[in-house]
Amino acid sequence: MRVYNFSAGPAVLPEEVLKEAADEMLDYRGTGMSVMEMSHRSKAYDDIIKEAEKDIRDLMNIPDNYKVLFLQGGASQFFAEVPMNLMKNKKAAYIITGQWAKKAWQEAQIFAGDGAVAVASSADKTFSYIPDCSDLPIPEDADYVYICENNTIYGTKYKTLPNTKGHILVSDVSSCFLSEPVDVTKYGVIYGGVQKNVGPAGVVIAIIREDLITDDVLPGTPTLLKWKTQADNDSLYNTPPCYNIYICGKVFKWIKKMGGLEAMKAHNEKKAKILYDYLDQSKLFKGTVRPEDRSLMNVPFVTGNADLDAKFVKEAKAAGFENLKGHRTVGGMRASIYNAMPIEGVEKLVEFMKKFEAENA
C-alpha cells in the first residue's frame, strides 16, 4: 500500500511516472533493454536527454542564451562550483536564511576567505523569516549575490528577489523547483538538486547564462567542475546519471500534462492553504514561520512540547503519514507537500491532526 510521504527529499514522485517507468523497466521502447543498461552515447539515450532539456526549456520558458546542464554531485557540490566558476574578484555576497545558504557561504569562504560576506541573515530568529533585501550592503566588486530561495528545513520562501544592485543573482531552488513560474532572466544561475520536487536523487539541474560559462575559472578547478566542460559536451562529458535524468524527463511531461507551472502553482497554493489555515486556528499546533514568508513546499509546525511532538510523529506514521518528523536541527514536525503530493494527502493529514488535537489538547 502507498503511504502519504511527506519527506523533504528524496521525496514523493507522481504515481503515473513511477508506473510508466515500471512498464519500461525491462524494455525501453523496443530497445530490448532498460534505460539503466543503456549507453549514454546511444541514439535512444541521446533522444531521452535532449527531450528532457526541451521540455524543461518549454516549462520554464528558458531563453536561448541560457544553458541547461544535468550534473552530478548534489547541490552541496554545486556550492563549490559557484565560486570556482564565477569568482573573478574573490568577492561574493551571501544572504543566510537557513542551513543550506550557510553551507554554501562556508564553501565560498574556502576560496575567498573574508571576501565571501554575509550581507543579511535571519539566524537571530531561527531562520523563521526572510530578511529585508531591498538595500543590502553588497560590495561593489562582488562577483555575485547568492540566495537559497526556498528553505527546506525552516519553511521560508522569498516572495520578492533581493535587490542585487546590478550584480549577478545565483539561486539554489532545490526545494521549490518547478513549483511555480519563474522569470529565468532575473538570474545569472538558477539551480537545484532534483530529489525534492523533480526526480530521484543524483541530478542537479543548472540553468546558467551563457556569458558566465567561460574558461576564466579559479586556478585548480577540476575539469569536470568547469561549467564550460559540461556545456561544451551537452552534459555528456562523462557518464551522467542516465536513469535519474530519464525520470526527470517523465516528471517534466507530467507537469506539462497537469497544465504547466501556472497550474502547479495554483495546485500548490490550494494544498498549502488547507494546512496553513488549520495551523492558524489550531490551539495545539503552531506554524513556525512568519506568515508572509511561508513556503508552499515545506511546512514546519510544533506543539511546543517535545514529548507530544514525538507522540504525534509516531501515531501519524502508524496512520500512514510518513516522514513528518522535523529536521534534526529544529525538531518538531515538517510536512513537505511537493508537486506530487495529492491534495487528499494534505486533507487527510489535517483530519488526522484535528483528531490528535481533540485527543491531546
* Contacts of 127 by beta carbon, 8 Å cutoff, 6+ apart: 97, 98, 99, 151, 153, 154, 156
Residue 1 has pLDDT above 90, yes or no: no
98 and 118 both lie in a single domain: yes
Asked whether residue 3 is domain-assigned, the answer is no
- From the list 336, 71, 327, 49, the residue with the least C-alpha distance to 194 is 71
Q: Which of the four pLDDT bands, split at 50, 70 and 90, describes residue 360?
A: very high
Q: What is the mean pLDDT of residues 105-121?
A: 98
Amino acid at 299: V
Quick one: pLDDT at residue 29?
Answer: 96
199 and 298 both lie in a single domain: no
267 and 318 both lie in a single domain: yes
What count of residues does the chain have?
361
* Contacts of 54 by beta carbon, 8 Å cutoff, 6+ apart: none
DSSP state, 185? G
Handedness of CA 22, 26, 28, 33 (dihedral sign): positive
Domain stop point among 233, 257, 281: 257
172 and 64 both lie in a single domain: yes
100 is catalytic: yes
Asked whether residue 281 is domain-assigned, the answer is yes
Q: Which of the four pLDDT bands, split at 50, 70 and 90, describes residue 123?
A: very high
Q: Residue 124 sits in a domain of what CATH number?
A: 3.40.640.10
Asked whether residue 5 is domain-assigned, the answer is no
Q: Which of the four pLDDT bands, split at 50, 70 and 90, describes residue 329?
A: confident
Domain stop point among 210, 235, 257: 257
Asked whether residue 6 is domain-assigned, the answer is no
Amino acid at 115: G
- pTM greater than 0.85: yes
- From the list 179, 124, 123, the residue with the least C-alpha distance to 150 is 179
Catalytic residue among 172, 227, 250, 309: 172
162 and 275 both lie in a single domain: no
What whole-number distance in Å separates Cα of residue 242 and Cα of residue 160? Answer: 35
251 and 274 both lie in a single domain: no
Q: Look at residue 158 and give its three-state secondary structure.
A: coil
* Contacts of 320 by beta carbon, 8 Å cutoff, 6+ apart: 1, 3, 4
Asked whether residue 1 is domain-assigned, the answer is no
Q: Look at residue 116 and give its three-state secondary structure.
A: strand
Q: Residue 333 sits in a domain of what CATH number?
A: 3.90.1150.10
Determine whether 34 is exposed, middle or buried from the number of CB atoms within 10 Å of its CB (0-12, 13-18, 19+).
Answer: middle
- From the list 183, 102, 91, 185, the residue with the least C-alpha distance to 144 is 91
24 and 100 both lie in a single domain: yes
What whole-number distance in Å separates Cα of residue 296 and Cα of residue 335? Answer: 10
Q: Which of the four pLDDT bands, split at 50, 70 and 90, describes residue 30?
A: very high
Asked whether residue 161 is domain-assigned, the answer is yes
- CA 258 from centroid of its chain's CA atoms: 20
- From the list 324, 275, 321, the residue with the least C-alpha distance to 296 is 275
Asked whether residue 271 is domain-assigned, the answer is yes
3-state secondary structure string, 16-30? HHHHHHHHCCCCCCC
Percent of the chain whose pLDDT exceeds 90: 98
Catalytic residue among 91, 196, 250, 271: 196
Domain stop point among 222, 239, 257: 257
Catalytic residue among 67, 100, 226, 309: 100
234 and 311 both lie in a single domain: no
* Contacts of 37 by beta carbon, 8 Å cutoff, 6+ apart: none
245 and 263 both lie in a single domain: no
181 and 223 both lie in a single domain: yes
245 and 335 both lie in a single domain: no
Cell of 133: 533585501
**Cell match 510544533: residue?**
302
User: According to DSSP H, which parts of the chain are helical?
Assistant: 15-23, 43-60, 74-86, 99-112, 227-232, 242-258, 260-281, 306-318, 343-360
346 and 209 both lie in a single domain: no
Asked whether residue 283 is domain-assigned, the answer is yes
Residue 318 has pLDDT above 90, yes or no: yes
Please answer whether residues 322 and 345 qualify as being in contact, where contact means their C-beta atoms are separated by less than 8 angstroms: no
172 is catalytic: yes
Rg (CA), the chain: 21
**CA–CA–CA angle 173, 178, 180 (5° rounding):** 100
User: How many distinct structural domains can be found in the chain?
Assistant: 2
Quick one: pLDDT at residue 79?
Answer: 98
Quick one: pLDDT at residue 322?
Answer: 97
Q: Which of the four pLDDT bands, split at 50, 70 and 90, describes residue 348?
A: very high
- Domain extent, residue 324, equals 259-360
Within a 10 A sphere around the Cβ of 332, how many other Cβ atoms?
Answer: 20
Q: What is the mean pLDDT of residues 40-50?
A: 97
pLDDT digits (tens, 9 = 90+) for 67-76: 999 999 999 9
Percent of the chain whose pLDDT exceeds 70: 100
Quick one: pLDDT at residue 232?
Answer: 98
Quick one: pLDDT at residue 330?
Answer: 83
